[in-house]
Structure 1
């Protein structure tokens, strides 16, 4: 394992306070913690009474706050059942709201006809500072829906009353707060999918890192990334995909269950081996 990799098997609720005591800091905390929907992760972490879930979440969010650099960001995946509670806790912790983003997938399915089919999961973006943070707009642009738009400039009047021409950026449109990536369902994602019950797509996490990681003077992604609930290792794999392209992201992942940590390490090791063969 090189210096950019660190997978820790243990309880993040105990490890994060240790990190704080050691003075460790992270530019980005990107995590997908248990949603409290009774998923089987090999423990009871996803089956807490509501009051306990909120209290645990409060401690976790406060720990994450204390681990952020001055310009650091927290990206926290959740579910519509509880996302409002978590957002309020982040406000109470003194973090600064930037946006509630939506991970939208069009290949979801429903187990019930009594409610609408689920097609999204929200994730919150809060920052440590209300003045300075990282968001690399141009790195995550998306194609325009119609190339016809590229042919026609738009004229408008600015705050000074001046007539100004707006032309579409040839690199694409600015990404909005809806991130469209399919779930890992079907044969198409059989090679990526593991046995973890809530695995997120690597493609989504690569884009998140490109958006929220700081960059050096040469345009490389740098800084330190923490995932306190590493699961099957999607955050780590996404970091290493970018590192294989010449970037220099340092990352730490914490996972309670050894079997998921083993899967995470195997995924990273396979990626590293593939890169060595190229």
Structure 2
């Protein structure tokens, strides 16, 4: 189900406990040029706005549900992601518990065992004498209890050293281990931002798919994205064959892009 409107007006219409999984990326309050949203509010006003929609997410989320919150920062404003998650998790009115923190790596350079340096991924270069290029964002895993079981192996990777499969009893003989909290998920290469990614702050479909796998409910997942944008989470839900998807988007053009993407064949 896709809704056109303000999430603070749409979320109260959803039933309590009707969602298993939330994956979303709200506006970051960094002055980004969204079509239908002013991303330049004062910090205190912005935090209160975030707490308002987060309270609604808590209401619609099941007790064993997961809320994956993707938040980036600007080099000159590095505390903002942490201020948001602290507002959600601290104090007598805390809404959630921070269960895991993931680092979404957009671009990385690694050195092989043979000494070769390999670079992969995409990033927006920063022209500055003070700051280095920003190649990652946070994905905060929030739950009501801090004790939600995950399917770590479903979101895992094969062992590099296969001898570890037999050496460690917890493997059960399966060539799959927990991926950990660093996720290298590059953007797809595009030819035209206007045509291929007409949104200033979208995340990759694969990022949402990773959250679906990790939460572990498979096709029975009921997924919500209250800041749908151009529909990466909707496409991920389609690819994973989830039971139910709910998306909310304020901008009519972004919503139309989502609908077009959902008409395309599953990749």
TM-score bracket for this pair, using the shorter chain length: 0.7 to 0.9
Q: CA deviation at 1:134?
A: 4.2
Aligned partner of 2:141 in structure 1 is 125
Query: What TM-score comes out, normalization by structure 1 length?
Result: 0.79
2:104, 2:182 within 8 Å by CA — same for their partners in 1?
yes
- 2:128 is the alignment partner of 1:113: yes
Secondary structure of the residue that 2:154 maps to in structure 1? helix
In 1, the alpha carbon distance for the partners of 2:239 and 2:27 equals 25
How many residue pairs get aligned? The number is: 244
In 2, the alpha carbon distance for the partners of 1:68 and 1:167 equals 32
Shifted more, 95-104 versus 37-46: the winner is 37-46
Aligned partner of 1:161 in structure 2 is none
Secondary structure of the residue that 2:63 maps to in structure 1? strand
2:23, 2:224 within 8 Å by CA — same for their partners in 1?
yes
Aligned partner of 2:60 in structure 1 is 67
Give runs of aligned pairs for residues 240-255 of structure 1, distance below 5 A: 240-243=238-241, 248-255=242-249
Q: Which blocks of at least 5 consecutive residues in structure 2 are unaligned?
A: 108-121
2:126, 2:132 within 8 Å by CA — same for their partners in 1?
no
Q: CA deviation at 1:167?
A: 6.2
Query: What TM-score comes out, normalization by structure 2 length?
Result: 0.82
Larger radius of gyration between Structure 1 and Structure 2:
1
Give runs of aligned pairs for residues 10-89 of structure 1, distance below 5 A: 10-19=5-14, 22-23=15-16, 25-80=18-73, 81=78, 82-89=80-87
In 1, the alpha carbon distance for the partners of 2:195 and 2:180 equals 26
- 2:104 is the alignment partner of 1:103: yes
- 2:195 is the alignment partner of 1:210: no
In 1, the alpha carbon distance for the partners of 2:194 and 2:213 equals 23
Q: What are the Cα deviations for residues 130-182 of structure 1, in whole angstroms up to 9, with x where unaligned?
A: 43x241112111133x3xx2135786xxxxxxxx7676954333111111011
1:150, 1:168 within 8 Å by CA — same for their partners in 2?
no
Counterparts in 2 of 1:190 and 1:40: CA distance versus 1, 3 Å:
closer
Q: Which blocks of at least 5 consecutive residues in structure 1 are unaligned?
A: 1-5, 156-163, 216-220
In 2, the alpha carbon distance for the partners of 1:166 and 1:16 equals 41
Counterparts in 2 of 1:193 and 1:170: CA distance versus 1, 3 Å:
farther
Which residue, out of 229, 234, 238, partners 1:236? 234
2:102, 2:141 within 8 Å by CA — same for their partners in 1?
yes
In 2, the alpha carbon distance for the partners of 1:137 and 1:154 equals 19
1:103, 1:123 within 8 Å by CA — same for their partners in 2?
yes
In 2, the alpha carbon distance for the partners of 1:166 and 1:205 equals 27
Counterparts in 2 of 1:56 and 1:167: CA distance versus 1, 3 Å:
closer
